[in-house]
Chain A
Amino acid sequence: MNRIGLERKVLNENDRLAAGLRSRFAASNVLCVNLISSPGAGKTSLLERTLESFDRDARVAVLTGDIQTENDANRLRCYGFPVRQITTRGTCHLDARMVERGLEDWRLTDLDLLLIENVGNLVCPSSYDLGEAAKVVLLSVTEGEDKPLKYPSIFFKSELMVLNKIDLLPYVPFDIAAAEENARRVNPNAEIIRVSCTQKNGIAEWLAWLAARRDRMLSGRTSAV
């Protein structure tokens, strides 16, 4: 019996496509952000607040992933920016090929920002690189404050945690300090922004984070993860 060392990535085909996307985004100065959370944490609501905040001439587009339905794309189209739904028909995450197909005829040179809303799931999307500059994880206060410890992979790989639904804090037994401490235990470098999409709190900080992240990408001070 011969043991032969291979040392290759299981998902190297996805990684190859993601690397291609990343270099296309970089060549066109597009900041690509991959939004990940459990179902119902508020990814689409955050995108609604984001798109409504932009001027009409903002160069932004959205790819939104779901297992079924065009509902999210329909919610987001009214803001006048390019939005495309990716329906995975059963798959619990987006992969780089779906993003590549989703971009289709869009010209990246027309964009500054591409927001990708992943399928609602805290586990599977963490394994698939989409060529994004940054993953952002949303956690809502109607979930448990121990989510970062239960799902360390995605909290470890995300540059930013958006804590959503903070307007509900008076009504739910959610320890926000513990949630933030748990996130930092998993990822000491994590940035955290507290947001309420319904009360529109924290949206300015989120927009500022996006702008600063793009500046950082353009100045090349940070390498893509």
Chain B
Amino acid sequence: MHEMSIANSVLEALEKEARRFPQGRIAKVGLRVGELAGVDPGALSFCWEAVVRGTNWEAVELEIEYSPRRHRCERCAREFVVKDFDIACPDCGEAHTVFAGGDELDLAFLEVDEDEPYRVGKEGVERK
């Protein structure tokens, strides 16, 4: 169970990024979590609520986009989603295909409401 550590890393990253938008209120933070990231989206959402409780970030919604494992066929250039660990190309049947994604643990986006600023001082964002 390392989703608490991950949630804290998301919060640290958010605090850093938020300084770029002193005039805005951050409404949502978007993550991309790959099938092979070893991170459980449900547990991460639960931990997110715990780490933001009682902070200025309490109202920030966490949106998690699930990224399935993808492979690319070097013979026919087809990129496809791997289902049930079957990595053969669904088009040409090539058995040896190349990993093309699905291990991400990325901060993908922020949604900023420009009209409702947080108070951002020299010490960073002020917490309650």
Instruction: State the A residues within 8 Å of B (CB).
Output: 1-14, 91-93, 95, 123-124, 126-128, 149, 151-154, 156-157, 185-186, 188
Contacts and interface: CB of A to CB of B under 8 A. Distances in A.
A8 B107 contact: yes
B13 A10 contact: yes
B27 interface: yes
A1 B27 contact: yes
Interface hub of B12, B13, B112 (most chain A Cβ within 10 A)? B13
A5 B109 CA distance: 4
Nearest to A6: B107
A6 B2 contact: no
Categorize the interface residue count of chain B.
20 to 34
Contacts of A186: 85
Contacts of A11: 6, 9, 105
Interface of B: 1-2, 5-6, 9-10, 12-13, 17, 21, 24, 27, 31, 35-39, 85, 87, 96, 103, 105-114
A189 to B, nearest CB: 9
Nearest to A151: B38
Nearest to A127: B38
A7 B2 contact: no
A181 to B, nearest CB: 10
A185 B103 contact: no
B114 A6 contact: no
Contact of A1 (B31, B106, B107, B112): B112
A37 to B, nearest CB: 14
A153 B6 CA distance: 16
